[in-house]
């Protein structure tokens, strides 16, 4: 009788493209996630956890550089015997699931809905040095705000986040562009073929690696890379390629110079001109809050690979040098990116829902902090700065920035400001302790109105008319005393600056 074969022992090894995290790796990441979350919360964003698994239909096909069904994701079919038969997949980012969540729960959520999410995502791509199939992302998104003030806020928050985790000014730059400008350039080029347009986008995304000459070659017949391999080009003529080169090289010494160059690059394109105007507004809103070109710049070379972006796009790049495996100096590179995606929720609802957000690559950011040797309960909602005049958005953003600089959570109302009652309902729904009110009369007199929402709720519930007169829930303060007066109201309720 033959001996039964022994079952071979399984190999104790990671699947290709996955890794284990031990001790310090886990605790360092947790500490950094909490630091990032604190910045997000200071801007009024709330946490959301959604499943790691979504239907493939809900995720959509938005990963870059894929040309076959389900490519880029880990997907499987449900057991048809159970009557389901749906395809499921591990999420490839945290944005596509947000679109599903908002579409599903929009009746219960405030609008705009500001959420942050943190967790692992999975991509079925070829692994390489430092490139894994599972990695952490840390996102913040605003859904339901059409104003580019929401985009400017995300960029400012990204800069604040990098500094909070230990990346000082001078070691990073947030670069901002607009897909509408790029669409204007493609329109000027007369490219109607979607495959050719996608090939041009991929070529533009390589500008920082191959430079102007390399882009010209890739837009034309092609080029040989450093290894000697020939990379086939898009096949454009030099005249067709010129608008792309003009677009990529339009960054000037100042934001105004860059915007002027971009306006020239888009020519008569209406969508291109709209993108330039949005970039100008973003630059003005950021400047009003004190975010200069040492932190945030307009940069036409930012494209972003995901196909769902529809407007402003942004990327955070670390500018300090590190040494690679071969001892050569190189810049660390990008650690975060995002943009506006106004059509993503529409896939579920059939109605346009504006949205914008950013995603931080947690593992890359941790690696950067290690290179520099810098690794290290329920609460009240934010103070809400109401909007009485659309034209004064920069003033309102500046107020919120001052409060945040003093450690006080604050946000500007980014919904439709026409109905002031809706703004106060929004503040109540957010659990805001204070609402800041500053209309034309207040601006002329150099004051603001501060509405103590906690006291107001107490008075509305039980106080008599005499008590209401003795304890007014709304007080007037000099504009210069905004921070001190808000802090005093919080202290009267036993709240610290960040509570």
Per the annotation, binding residues for L-histidine are 93-95, 123, 137, 141, 304, 308-309
Determine if the peptide bond prior to 112 is cis (ω within 30°).
Answer: yes
State whether residue 71 is helix, strand or coil.
coil
Bridge partners of residue 115, in order along the sequence: 46, 141
Structure tokens at 39: 């910045």
Taken in order 190, 193, 198, 199, is the CA torsion positive or negative?
negative
By CB atoms closer than 10 A (0-12, 13-18, 19+), residue 48 is buried
Residue of 173, 143, 142 whose CA lies nearest to 159: 173
Bridge partners of residue 435, in order along the sequence: 384, 451
- DSSP conformation class of 82: G
Give me the numbers of helices (H) and strands (E) for the chain, helices first please: 18, 18
Residue that has been written with the tokens 């960029």 in this structure: 155
Residue 88 CA to residue 52 CA, distance in Å, equals 10
Residue 75 CA to residue 77 CA, distance in Å, equals 7
Residue of 34, 99, 26, 32 whose CA lies nearest to 60: 99
CB-CB contact of 436 with 399 (8 Å)? yes
Give the contacts of 103 (CB within 8 A, at least 6 positions apart): 345, 348, 349, 353
Q: How far is CA 289 from CA 16, 114, 160, 282, 485, in A?
A: 46, 20, 12, 11, 20
By CB atoms closer than 10 A (0-12, 13-18, 19+), residue 268 is exposed
End-to-end CA distance of the chain: 76
Residue 139 CA to residue 47 CA, distance in Å, equals 10
Give the contacts of 27 (CB within 8 A, at least 6 positions apart): none
Element (H, E) at 284: helix 270-288
Residue of 429, 350, 487, 482 whose CA lies nearest to 114: 429
CB-CB contact of 121 with 111 (8 Å)? no
Q: What are phi and psi of 117, to 5 degrees?
A: -145, 145
Residue that has been written with the tokens 């950021």 in this structure: 286
The annotated binding site is made up of 93-95, 123, 137, 141, 304, 308-309
State whether residue 79 is helix, strand or coil.
coil
Q: At what angle do helices 207-219 and 238-248 cross, to 10 degrees?
A: 160
């Amino acid at each position: 009788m033959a001996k039964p074969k022994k079952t071979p022992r399984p190999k104790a090894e990671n699947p290709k493209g996955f890794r284990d995290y031990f001790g310090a790796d886990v605790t360092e990441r947790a500490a950094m996630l909490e630091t990032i979350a604190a910045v997000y919360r200071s801007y009024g964003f709330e946490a959301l956890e959604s499943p790691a698994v979504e239907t493939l239909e809900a995720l959509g096909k938005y990963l870059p550089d894929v040309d076959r069904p389900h490519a880029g994701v880990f997907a499987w079919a449900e057991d048809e015997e159970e009557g389901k038969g749906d395809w499921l997949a591990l999420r490839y980012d945290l944005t596509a699931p947000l679109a599903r969540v908002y579409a599903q729960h929009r009746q219960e959520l405030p609008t705009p809905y500001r959420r942050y999410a943190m967790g692992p995502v999975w991509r079925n791509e070829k692994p390489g040095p430092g490139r894994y199939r599972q990695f952490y992302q840390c996102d913040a998104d605003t859904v339901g705000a059409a104003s580019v003030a929401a985009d400017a806020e995300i960029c400012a928050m990204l800069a604040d986040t990098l500094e909070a985790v230990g990346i000082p000014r001078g070691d990073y730059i947030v670069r901002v562009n607009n897909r509408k400008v790029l669409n204007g350039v493609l329109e000027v080029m007369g490219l109607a073929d979607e495959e050719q347009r996608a090939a041009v986008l991929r070529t533009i995304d390589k500008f920082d690696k191959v430079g102007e000459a390399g882009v010209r070659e890739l837009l034309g017949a092609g080029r040989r890379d450093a290894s000697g391999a020939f990379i086939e080009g898009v096949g454009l003529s030099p005249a067709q390629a010129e608008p792309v080169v003009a677009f990529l090289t339009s960054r000037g010494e100042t934001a105004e110079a860059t915007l002027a160059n971009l306006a020239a690059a888009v020519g008569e394109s209406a969508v291109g001109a709209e993108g330039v105007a949005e970039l100008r507004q973003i630059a003005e809103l950021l400047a009003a809050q004190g975010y200069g070109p040492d932190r945030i710049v307009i940069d036409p070379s930012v494209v972003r690979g995901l196909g769902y972006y529809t407007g402003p796009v942004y990327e955070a790049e670390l500018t300090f040098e590190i040494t690679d495996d071969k001892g050569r100096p190189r810049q660390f590179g990008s650690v975060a990116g995002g943009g506006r995606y106004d059509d993503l929720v529409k896939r579920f609802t059939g109605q346009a829902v504006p949205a914008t957000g950013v995603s931080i690559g947690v593992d890359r950011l941790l690696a950067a902090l290690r290179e520099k040797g810098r690794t290290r309960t329920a609460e009240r909602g934010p103070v809400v700065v109401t909007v009485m005049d659309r034209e004064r958005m920069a003033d309102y953003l500046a107020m919120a920035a001052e409060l945040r600089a003093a450690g006080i959570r604050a946000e500007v109302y980014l919904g439709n400001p026409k109905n002031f009652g809706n703004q106060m309902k929004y503040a109540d729904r957010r659990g805001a302790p204070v609402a800041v009110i500053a209309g034309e009369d207040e601006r002329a007199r150099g004051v603001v109105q501060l509405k103590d929402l906690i006291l107001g709720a107490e008075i509305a519930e039980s106080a008599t008319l005499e008590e209401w007169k003795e304890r007014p829930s709304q007080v007037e303060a000099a504009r210069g005393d905004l921070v001190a007066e808000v802090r005093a109201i919080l202290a009267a309720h036993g709240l610290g600056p960040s509570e």
